Amino acid sequence: MKRSPSTSLHRRRSLASALSLFAFGWAILPVLAAAQELAPESVADMFYIVAVKEPQFTGGNPPPVEQLPHAAVLSRDGTRTRLDVSVQLGQLAPATYAWTKTSAKTAILRLTGSDIVSRLEITFTSPGRATYREIREGRSVISSGDFLIAPVPRNLTPPLINLSSRLTLSAGQTAIQGFVVEGPAPRRVLVRAVGPTLAAFGVQNVAATPTLSVFKGATQIASNTGWAGAANLSAAFVAAGAFALPSTSRDSAVVLTLEPGDYTAQARDANGGEVLLEVYLLN
């Protein structure tokens, strides 16, 4: 059976139309991608990590050198808690933040505190990833770099029971470990700053007398220098599966019952050295 010329022409036109639509679809994909909403409406209960590129000085003396990258938690109550692993105690003043979404891909993060007034102009390149430009009040310098942001982990399965960071401190510097107590009820938590006992594992230049402090926001809620072989702490080490500490060591530890919320554990040694900062959930 022969196809009529009109039928063949109609099919060729249909195929051409389909190809045109296919080509049009590919053409508008970049437009749709460009319009994707990458900047979040809110950053409450999220953490961010900033990697700083070489500052661009515009005159005056260079600003103090900070260990980079640094991280912080942006809480629902509008506060910002730094999670830097090594920072001078004087730089730990609390700060508040304000987040403004300015377009599908851009936003402004304003930080205000007794030690900082800063504006980060952020441009997202993909979900959770961005570049930024920071201007700090009182400093003749503009910084820029990479910005990463993600929700604070919640309701992890199986539950996270231990955080630990081994850090090298300079004299007078402070190690910080941020952690979140999740759930509807208080949790028992073991926190340790291990210095001298690290030598038994072959670690050199250990922190000889680390002081451990635990903070909720800017408020110190516990402190210890030298755990002194306390029986309740020794039992907590066993319950947590943590390695034992000699009863006469100058390592530090505390056991606390904490309400749900955000906390920071800090370790400091006047002479610096290697320290292991640990947090265990006991129940």
Rounded distance between C-alpha atoms, residue 118 and residue 137, angstroms = 6
- CB contact at 8 A, 51 and 69: yes
Closest among 196, 207, 212, 206 to 252, alpha carbons compared: 212
Q: Residue 72 has what pLDDT?
A: 82
Identify which has the larger pLDDT, 172 or 7. Answer: 172
Residues 122, 178, 216, 185, CA torsion sign: positive
Q: Residue 53 has what pLDDT?
A: 72
CA dihedral (93, 66, 87, 276) in degrees, to 10, reads: 150
- Range of lowest pLDDT (29-43, 141-155, 248-262): 29-43
Task: Give Cβ neighbours of residue 92 (< 8 Å, ≥ 6 apart).
Answer: 82, 174, 176, 218
Q: What pLDDT, in 10s, does the model give residues 202-258?
A: 899 999 999 999 999 888 999 999 999 999 999 999 888 888 999 999 999 999 999
Predicted confidence band at 140 (pLDDT cuts at 50, 70, 90)? low
Mean pLDDT of 62-69: 47
Which residues on neighbouring strands pair with residue 15, listed in sequence order?
none
Cβ atoms within 10 A of the Cβ of 178, count? Answer: 21
Rounded distance between C-alpha atoms, residue 215 and residue 79, angstroms = 14
